[in-house]
Amino acid sequence: MKPEVPENPTGPTVPGFYKDILDHMSDGVYFVDRDRRILYWNEGAYRLTGYRAEELLGRFCQDDILCHIDTAGTRLCHEGCPLAASIADGGLHEANVFLRHKEGRRVPVNVRIQPMLGSDGAVIGAIEIFSDNSAQYEAQRKTDAMNRLAFLDHLTQLPNRRFLEMSAHTAFNEYQVHHDPFGVLMIDLDRFKTINDSFGHSCGDRALQQLGQSLLASLRPTDIVGRWGGDEFLAIVRNVNQEVLNGLAKRCAVLASRTSVLSNDERMISLSISVGGALMQPGETAEQLIERADEQMFQNKRNRTDVAAQS
């Protein structure tokens, strides 16, 4: 059904000469009155949205035809609309948002809004100019993806050693300034070489992936765990004492022991880990803290091996 257009809409009219100029712009341009009723819609707006002027003139922005949302998914026609803000405060507003094309796809656009003033200086409406932001959005998306990859272990999808080292230094600096206690857990997958040699490297990869998820589930949301390298994982745990650190280490070991992977010949392989923990001490560096946890982990592994050999 064709929308009704007001016979005498309040707001600006566009002389033919200027309308031709606006219609040749690549940007979308539209005017609204104080009620956010659409009074003008140029050809650029049609090209970007798929909606022709006759489909929208007389309609209201709050009808949510374009379903504008921000990066958080907020529906701006109902909350936080920059067009409404410009009418309310008489200021300039700019935002990066997503509109919904007539065909249903999302289009990233940059919108710039400024109020329109009457002869008495009062706000009588607003003009919005919006442009396709796809290239910039895609470039930012690729940049974000590259940044994530720089700090992500491709196999386990957990933080990599580079990120863990940075996080350890951040915790160390906070310890130096605010004396916030923290510690680390060094975790090693037992019999990793045997799994690789006996069942293949693809099975070993699955074991690391499963272990990574078990460790993630074992620790607190504020803790950071990632792949240190090879079959070793490192967890950085904040606001802990020795009792809490020991409890976290035990929980990691228990959940790991309840984790298994399926080999290529459909045999279940149970996993186990060796864990070493250390709390930050005055006078040592983050590297020395990690070294102590590493030494503790190997000592625990040797002790378990010795017990197994004696039994």
Instruction: List the pLDDT tens digit at each of the 311 positions of the chain.
Output: 333 334 444 445 566 667 778 888 889 999 999 999 999 999 999 999 999 999 999 999 888 889 989 888 888 888 888 999 999 999 999 999 999 999 999 999 999 999 999 989 999 999 999 999 988 888 788 778 777 788 999 999 999 999 999 999 999 999 998 888 999 999 999 999 999 999 999 999 999 999 999 999 999 988 999 999 999 999 999 999 999 999 999 999 999 999 999 988 889 999 999 999 999 999 999 999 999 999 999 999 988 765 444 43
Q: Is residue 143 part of a domain?
A: no
- 191 and 84 together in one domain: no
Q: Same domain for 129 and 158?
A: no
Phi, psi of 111 (to 5 degrees): -115, 140
Written as six digits, the tokens of 205 are 């990869």
- Are 234 and 228 in contact by the 8 Å Cβ rule? The answer is yes
207/192 Cα distance (integer angstroms): 8
pLDDT of residue 185: 98
pLDDT for the residue numbered 7: 41
Residue where a domain terminates, one of 134, 162, 190: 134
Residue 11 lies in a domain: no
The pTM score is: 0.59
**What's the pLDDT score for residue 275?**
97
Asked whether residue 48 falls in the same domain as residue 122, the answer is yes
Determine the pLDDT at residue 266: 86
Does residue 252 fall inside a structural domain? Answer: yes
Taking each helix axis from N to C terminus, what angle separates 192-199 and 201-218, rounded to the nearest 10 degrees?
A: 140
- CA of 59: how far to CAs of 19, 114, 135, 272, in Å? 20, 20, 30, 65
